[in-house]
Chain A
Amino acid sequence: MKHLLLILIYKGVMPLFLKFIGVKITPKKPLQPNMQYIIVANHNSHIDTMALMSSIPLKDLNRTHPVAAATYFGKNSWLAVLSKLFVNTILIKRSEEGGESTALDTLGKFLSKGHSLIIFPEGSRGEPEKMQAFRKGIGVLLQRYPHIPYIPVYIQGTGKILPKGERLIVPYDAIVHFGQPTFCKAQTVEAIVVNVKNEILRLKN
């Protein structure tokens, strides 16, 4: 039932809407079905999540979860239910809210089930078109699950369409560059984070 709803949104309405407001996804079919991965992208807008979910193969939609901050989307129970239902999110506590270990356990549970994740390591949407420092959670996760590839994604232009703190959606040309599934070779958490960030920045050019 939920899967059907997600298909209806992300394979029906959303692609048309994204095309209209000017978001382009490249390559056109960026992901193979029946794969497990962690999508890692820069983050400027709610549009990012919509665009990434629309790029997920139909079959995998209900087992792909954008990871979001509980303090933002769990502000009230309505928002939490809606984001779980319509965006398939997993809500976690940020580390500064004392959620580090429980958050990683929660995500680990989903990964062990074979589910995929969408993670924005910047933690929150920054200023339009500016990349912030990456948090180390993505490094910890990739270190714990080295057999799961990550997919770097560079998103350009969505910060103008719907920046943080704005409600009005304005069409602008934006583009979502998907990279190749990559296994991380680095050992330390810090090195993994640096690698991931470099892979994302490489897609910019």
Chain B
Amino acid sequence: MHFEHLTSIHQMLLVILGVLVFATVLFLIWKKIKPGAQVDELMTRTKSWWVMASIFAIAALVHPLISFVAFGFLSFAALRELSSISKNARIEDRSVIFWAYLAIPIQYFFAYMGWMLPFLIFIPVFMFTWIPFILVLKGHTQDIARSMSVIPTHLMLTVYSLSHLAYLLSLSIADGGRGLLLYVVFLTEMNDVFQFTWGKLLGRHKIIEKISPNKTWEGFIGGLLSTVLAAILLKFLTPFTTYEAIGAGLLIACTGFVGDIIVSAIKRDFGLKDTGTVIKGHGGILDRMDSLIISAPFFFYYVYLLHIVR
């Protein structure tokens, strides 16, 4: 029993390693053959997959607690990046942003303990009240309404959403949720690549040129179909039936797209699309997490409604 358990994790890790090596080699060759091709975005994404995969591997082999800490740090870095580039948070909001950071360990603690209700309400109910309350106590009323809406939104985007990935590991499901975590992260990232690739190959009709000029209907639909196919192929990682896997594929493709353009729009508003980053040499975490920000919670509730609450 113990041996079987180990080998299934090892199998999973081997699959990840294989895919990553394949992707890395593929992109390197692509770049060699067509130096003009814009594969740089894909290359940076592959790099972040290696990081994610390493975290996953260490967590799977050593202790699940490591994943919670790692995702907590990921949320922390994303929140730090968003607070730094945001032109909407005021300098007076420093101490309030400090409170926002303190929410991270608490939210991930709830995820680790598997306390569903506190996990659900802590940020959207408690922090949503606590942050405006502290802002009011501070007494800088100029632009206070803006800070009241911006800081909780930052928390939702970077902490609440990503913590759902960690909570997958607390679900009472056969392999402790590791397969599901791998499934949603892998499919979301693959969906980005599929959409990018199909868009490059066939893209004609732009979806929202003002926000994301590379997004085309051809890319989106091609990505959607490829992701659904991948979702069916990888369903051995999950408790899903084939139909449920098709649904998961559709869900991940659509929500991944939504997350991508939401983050793009935010960045465009901050003037980052054209100038690189506000703080030169920084950034990139949000870029890599953009699709996961929306797909993670949606996928979580999909699993939860289908397989946890009956």
Contacts of B94 in A (CB 8 A): 160, 163, 166, 168, 170
Flag B101-116 by CB within 8 Å of A: 1 or 0 each.
1000000000000000
A170/B97 contact (C-beta < 8 A), A22-B84, A157-B84, A160-B91 known: yes
Flag if B98 contacts A173 (CB, 8 Å): no
Q: How many residues of B contact A (CB 8 A)?
A: 17
Contacts of B98 in A (CB 8 A): 168, 170
B38 at the interface (CB under 8 A from A): no
Contacts of B84 in A (CB 8 A): 22, 157, 160, 172-173
CB A115 to nearest CB in B, in angstroms, measures: 30
Provide the main secondary structure of the chain B interface.
helix
A57 at the interface (CB under 8 A from B): no
Flag A97-125 by CB within 8 Å of B: 1 or 0 each.
00000000000000000000000000000
Contacts of A160 in B (CB 8 A): 84, 91, 94
Stretch at the interface among B182-190, B274-282, B288-296: B274-282
Contacts of A50 in B (CB 8 A): none
Tell me the A4-39 residues at the B interface (CB within 8 Å): 22, 24, 26
Most buried by B among A26, A168, A170, A174: A170
Q: Which residue of B lies closest to A128 (CB)?
A: B91
Complex Cα–Cα for A24 and B284 (A):
14
Q: Which residue of A lies closest to B99 (CB)?
A: A170
Contacts of B91 in A (CB 8 A): 128, 160, 163
Contacts of B280 in A (CB 8 A): 156, 175, 177
Tell me the B254-310 residues at the A interface (CB within 8 Å): 279-283
Flag if B101 contacts A175 (CB, 8 Å): no
Contacts of B282 in A (CB 8 A): 24, 173, 175
CB A44 to nearest CB in B, in angstroms, measures: 11
Complex Cα–Cα for A170 and B80 (A):
9
Complex Cα–Cα for A156 and B278 (A):
10
Provide the main secondary structure of the chain A interface.
loop
Complex Cα–Cα for A163 and B84 (A):
15
CB B67 to nearest CB in A, in angstroms, measures: 19
* Chain A residues touching B, range: 10 to 19
Complex Cα–Cα for A17 and B91 (A):
22
Out of B81, B97, B279, which one reaches A156, CB within 8 Å?
B279
B95 at the interface (CB under 8 A from A): yes
A171/B80 contact (C-beta < 8 A), A24-B282, A26-B281, A156-B279 known: yes
Flag if B97 contacts A175 (CB, 8 Å): no
Contacts of A26 in B (CB 8 A): 281
Flag if A173 contacts B95 (CB, 8 Å): no
Q: Which residue of B lies closest to A171 (CB)?
A: B80
CB A51 to nearest CB in B, in angstroms, measures: 14
Contacts of B95 in A (CB 8 A): 168, 170
Flag B66-92 by CB within 8 Å of A: 1 or 0 each.
000000000010001101110000010
Chain B residues with a Cβ under 8 A of chain A: 76, 80-81, 83-85, 91, 94-95, 97-98, 101, 279-283
Chain A residues with a Cβ under 8 A of chain B: 22, 24, 26, 128, 156-157, 160, 163, 166, 168, 170-175, 177
Minimum-distance CB pairs A-B, first 10 = A173-B84, A173-B282, A170-B94, A170-B98, A172-B84, A171-B80, A173-B279, A22-B80, A26-B281, A175-B279
